[in-house]
A and B are shown apart, each in its own frame.
Chain A
Amino acid sequence: MSRVIVQRLLGAVLQVLIVTLLAWLLFYVIARFTGASPAQRIAGKNATAAQIAQVARLLGVNKPYWQQYLIFLDHLVHGNFGFSYVQERPVSAILWPATRATASLVLGAAALWLLIAAPIGAYGGLRPRSAGDIAGRTVAILGMSIPVFWLAPMISYFLGYQPTQGKLAGLRILPVGTTLFPILGYTDLGQNPLEWAYHLVLPWITLAIGFAAVYIRFIRTLTAEQLGEDYARTAKAKGASTSRILVRHVGRNVAPTVTVLLGADIATALTGVFFVETVFSIPGLGYTGLSAIENLDYPVITGVVIVAALIAVLANTIVDLLHTALDPRLRRITNI
């Protein structure tokens, strides 16, 4: 068991290393040939050649590339992501609150999509080809086909903006100026948990719908598969109620697989975060990364890429380890 964990962790470290190398190559080496030099960017437009040379010396861009990469890594390990070209702040001071906002968005949305998908998927697996199953699958394929960058403005418009104009679903049934849900702004969880959740309702829904659709299909297939197994039939023959079979027997077998998928999809959700955060003005990693890209603020872009990769790798690793804990069969095999 411990050997599996060590191997898994080493693999994760290797993945992060590859990501840092890629990010460094792209934003520190290749970018230098396509745009203004970082020394020029930091020293400013009016800097003299001597000033630029001074900054270049401080940045270490005159050293050989392998040394530069090692210095870059050394800084990363010490939490030093460099200095933003635009915001005049250390990148780490920008990344930390952004990571909190993005984590709120993604984790909340993940809880929501599981909450939506579990009952619909389980019902579909239990009663395949019933009216409820067909309805669930139709909703799922529709949900899968709606890109999040379209869903975000739609939800913002129909649930956020239109109510302020006194309309709901196009009908004039609300007083003008009603705020059903806020469409802008973000409050940190530590400041005011209620406001935090209230501001995140629409972003959570937006991010959750596409994934809920995918999970309805996953859970449906898995449930149907497990219900066909001997143990499920035995439980039924012994007179266990349907809900007991679903929760106690099938649920325990479906949960580990769903957990693994969840790990991978938290990484995928970081993609949707871009669009959701920009539409709803949440100062998270996506929002920060995009404005950094607009400003060609390479240290911030690099920081966002690396933090996002860290989150993705971390989520995958935790989930893999959790999978071992949840699935007794894996424990037994790895113990031998």
Chain B
Amino acid sequence: MTTEMQSIELEPGGAARPAGLMATALRRLRRDPVSVAAFGLLVILVLAAAVGGPLAAHLTGHPPNQQFAGALAADGQPLGIMQRTFLPSGHAHNPHGSLFVLGADALGRDTLVRVLYGARISLLVATSATALALVIGVSLGLLAGYLGGWVDSIVNRLTETAMAFPNLLLAVGIAVVIGPGLLNVVIIIALFTWYYPARIVRGATVSTKRMTFVAAARTVGARPRRILLVHLLPQVWGPLLVYGTSIIANNIIFEAGLSYLGVGVPPPTATWGEMLSDAVTSGMYQTDITLALAPGVALVLTMLAFNLLGDGLRDALDPKASR
């Protein structure tokens, strides 16, 4: 039970054996069925993003951006769930078959294939934006917390202003000014999310830097860089992991929101936000609700998985939780 008793509170005893802490958290996570389910959902999602799209495109013979004239009914209604298309001769329109599992959109593109391809953009943008935000946030937080003084004041002012801001509007404004594109979207999202990790890291650094083990490290001649990276950074892994999970969830919504507003990854690339906005702004979702349901349900499931896993991680890393 001794490893179980370890806490992540920022105390020298816990700090000496961070591996034990992680092991404890992992064991707790494995015993929590909800977290396991959420993790399973995420694995499925990553698989869907990595191989699901191309696989579905191969099986159905519908590349994500190809428009099938046959998928549009004569009255302009898009193809519904599990419907097939036929050539005028009565044959299937392509050798692989003609089944549109989730129907087709207003342009005759396969909804299922596009939803699967959309998972790629969502995960790619959200994780890289989160990684970038963490790098910026952790560096600034460590520096602000460790150096104090005017560096700290500037970082604090910046985070306060950034947090008090309805950031989507400014993000859209920046996107309009610097133009669309995958990399730009990642940069914009990171620009609006770095301050959460910065605040956490700063807080933890301020409370840790006065601890004896930091003083001891300094006494034996450790340079600031070593103190920051080797002694202070490991203290904040736990909370960063929890926040990182919820930031990824937020960034997935952020990316979808930008795409929804038409300033995300440019079309015809399939993204969930762009699929939703296609369905909604054209009013086509009133004719065929699947067009809004498919990307929406994909988004909700992804969010749910990240939120549940974040909750599980927080409980698993909580020193006060019952063991």
Chain A contacts to B: CB under 8 angstroms: 11, 14-15, 18-19, 22-23, 26-27, 30-31, 34, 141-142, 144-147, 149-150, 153-154, 157, 161, 264, 267-268, 270-271, 274-275, 279, 286, 289-290, 293, 296, 301, 304-305, 308-309, 312-313, 316
Contact = CB atoms under 8 A, between A and B. Distances in A.
A301 B173 contact: yes
B165 A147 contact: no
A136 B285 CA distance: 31
Interface size class of B (residues with CB under 8 A): 35 or more
B285 A157 contact: yes
A301 to B, nearest CB: 6
21 contacts: A15-B164, A26-B173, A26-B177, A34-B178, A141-B304, A142-B300, A145-B304, A147-B257, A147-B300, A149-B260, A150-B292, A150-B296, A150-B300, A157-B285, A264-B163, A267-B165, A271-B167, A290-B172, A293-B263, A309-B165, A313-B164
Interface of B: 157, 160-161, 163-170, 172-174, 176-179, 249, 253, 256-257, 260-261, 263, 273, 276-277, 279-280, 285-286, 289, 292, 295-296, 299-300, 303-304, 307-308, 311
Question: DSSP class of A's interface residues: helix, strand, loop or mixed?
Answer: helix
Contacts of A141: 304, 307-308, 311
Contact of B176 (A150, A268, A293, A316): A293
Contacts of A22: 170
A15 B161 contact: yes
A290 B281 CA distance: 13
Contacts of A316: 164
Contacts of A293: 172-173, 176, 261, 263
> Which one of A11, A150, A275 has the greatest number of beta carbons of chain B within 10 Å?
A150
Nearest to A140: B307
Question: DSSP class of B's interface residues: helix, strand, loop or mixed?
Answer: helix
Given A142-B304, A296-B176, A150 B164 contact: no
B304 A305 contact: no
B300 to A, nearest CB: 5
A31 B304 CA distance: 38
B166 A146 contact: no
